[in-house]
Amino acid sequence: MNQSAPSLDTRAARIVALDTLDVRFPTSRELDGSDAMNPDPDYSAACVTLRTNHPDLCGHGFVFTIGRGNDVQKAALDALSEHVAGLSVDAVVNDLGGFARRLTGDSQLRWLGPEKGVMHMAIGAVVNAAWDLAARLAGKPLWRYIAELSPEEIVAAIDFRYLSDALTRDEALAILRAAVPHRQQRIEQLLAEGYPAYTTSPGWLGYSDEKMQRLAREAVADGFRTIKLKVGLDAADDVRRCRLARETVGPDIAIAIDANQRWDVPDAIAWLKQLIAFDIAWIEEPTSPDDILGHAAIRRAVAPMPISTGEHTHNRVMFKQLFQAGAVDLVQIDAARVGGVNENLAILLLAAKFGVRVFPHAGGVGLCELVQHLAMADFVAITGRKEDRAIEFVDHLHEHFIDPVVIREGRYIAPTAPGFSAEMKQTSLRDYAFPQGVAWQTDSGA
């Protein structure tokens, strides 16, 4: 599809179909994504396209999964078809809040969550596809499209239900309005400087010590100021790997660790006390993503080691409580877990109000492409902060995207093509479609 803004009369444009596709990459053959909870992921995407009656105008989104169950996600996307088919494109892009509430507010579908799991992720992907459509129509990359909406337009996109004890519409408006005078200067700054990245590439559990050290050295040489190691399978291994990593990168590079939900609360506390000596930047997902009080207990017990979670936090109500409980020092957001751009804007505003830094989750397939837009919109329109935070980066599977991320000197370069960078190449969609694509014909895969 044409990446430039379609120059067409969209007044009569309608969404004619919601197309879906099950796409899987056989990454488990290489162990590149191995961690303590996910030993053999096949990075996958349940893709959705909002197709219009204009051949050059589509909106793209996807749910990221790690293999089995991608077909269930596709079924959930298909179930939303009746809510979007026939809608006027203008009506959708001019009321993205109403569009999202049309999906999250379906009382029958809501029973399947509410606002969590398969159904909520499907809604998020369709909502993201609508934002992609809106940004393409406006001829802007999504980060800039959001950052140039009025504060009133942004809050209109947000569902404040269940948030008013922590963040009201008026408080959100005040945060957004305070940023308005700085927007233009921040846009220029972002285009000139990029946004800090950190890398998880050295740290997968399947790697040897030597490979980890080599990749850590390369990461520093490439300009990254933070690296992340996966932990949680064996405490002695983790002590050794953290020591080796610290020796390898020296005292000035931040080292984060990620347990991918491996521990119970008492185990997390005992394990992490052994790693305090290595000046850990943060411990990510020490326990169940649902365990708000557990994160708070761990944080109290291993202070000053910073605690974080968020990539599996399923909606804004859970983020609200993480902040209210003082359970985290920083959070991840994920572009394809919650109910789309709208809910992530709510989460970013909550984080801003509570003064919690955001280090977006990425990697997998396409998560870097998506989440960069949210972090950059946050910088311009919400917090004005970027040098005290960073977006995760994994150098993996970007070749399948039409508008892949660009990393230079350890920083994400701001995208300039219109849209949400979510569209995959037709050849990739064809070759990795599951199970019929050629990538799945050569052997049995998982």
Site of interaction with its own copies (CB under 8 A)? 37-42, 65-69, 71-73, 75-76, 79, 106-121, 161-165, 261, 264-267, 287-294, 297, 312, 314-315, 317-318, 320-321, 324-325, 446
Which segments of 231-293 are extended strands (E)? 254-258, 280-284
**What is the closest distance, in whole angstroms, from the C-beta atom of residue 82 to its own copies in the complex?**
8
Q: What is the rounded distance in angstroms from the CA atom of residue 440 to the CA atom of residue 418?
A: 32
Q: Is 116 or 225 the residue whose CB approaches its own copies more closely?
A: 116
Kindly state the smallest distance separating residue 286's Cβ from its own copies, in Å.
11
CB of 109 to its own copies, least distance (A): 5
Q: Nearer to its own copies by C-beta: 55 or 266?
A: 266
Task: Name which of 73 and 308 has its Cβ closer to its own copies.
Answer: 73
Residues 6+ apart with CB under 8 A from 201: 215, 219, 393, 394, 395, 396
Q: How far is the CB of 81 from its own copies (least distance, A)?
A: 11
- For residue 431, the minimal CB distance to its own copies (Å) is 21
Query: What's the maximum distance between 2 C-alpha atoms anywhere in the chain?
Result: 64
Q: Quick one: 103 or 242, whose CB is closer to its own copies?
A: 103
Give how far Cα 107 sits from Cα of 35, 97, 99, Å.
Answer: 37, 17, 15
One-letter identity of residue 84: V
158, 97 in Cβ contact below 8 A? Answer: yes
Using alpha carbons, list the distances in angstroms from residue 429 to 68, 343, 399: 18, 28, 12
Name which of 120 and 136 has its Cβ closer to its own copies: 120
Residue with the two structure tokens 């793209």: 60
CA distance 446 to 431: 16
* Shortest distance, position 108 Cβ to its own copies, whole Å: 4
Nearer to its own copies, 10 or 288 (CB): 288
Looking at the annotation, which residues are catalytic? 230, 361
Give the DSSP H/E element, type plus range, for residue 420: none
Q: At what angle do helices 341-354 and 96-104 cross, to 10 degrees?
A: 100
Residues 6+ apart with CB under 8 A from 424: 23, 45, 47, 60, 62, 366, 400, 401, 402
